[in-house]
Amino acid sequence: MLLLMAQIKLFIGTFFGAGLLPWAPGTWGSLFTLPFIYLAAFSFHTAGLSIFLLLTIILALWSAPAAVERYGDDPGRFVMDESAGQTIVFLLVPFQNSLNTDIWILLAGFLLFRMFDIFKPLGIRELEKISGKFGILLDDLLAGVYALICLQVILYGFTFF
């Protein structure tokens, strides 16, 4: 039973296997999260995104210890933290419910989040140094906050001009 629970935690922590894909598992995890983000935003707006964010945070904290035990400290295959961080980026986005428009917003938010998550500026790297499941998660959440701010500036710039 414990083995089965560990396998379930690993499956969820890898965002249903996205983190097991070769080359840049964090990018895959972030990318595979986008349809869920859009569905939550399209169906339930900010409330849906907030619930999805809370769910990804809870799942990340719940499944992280199993991933650390299996793969080592802050394992690249564990991408549920990227899912949580990626979700933050879109919390304040007024999607237009037009995939032709919204795809560009999703792409911009994805690229901004990946940039902050990869380069880890402005205190993100320091959060990554916190040991355990909170260190695994907190750096991605802060990367999501910075990407959210940048995306809001970009969207405001487009509506201003």
Give residue 129's identity as a one-letter amino acid code. Answer: K
Tell me which residue has tokens 């859009």: 38
pLDDT tens string, the chain, 161 residues long: the values are 788 999 999 999 999 999 999 999 999 999 999 999 999 999 999 999 999 999 999 999 999 999 999 998 889 999 999 999 999 999 999 898 898 999 999 999 999 999 999 999 999 999 989 989 999 999 999 999 999 999 999 999 877 65
* pTM for this predicted structure: 0.94
Q: Where do we find the tokens 């900010």?
A: 46
Contact, 114 vs 27, CB < 8 A?
Answer: yes
Dist CA 60 CA 69 (whole Å): 14
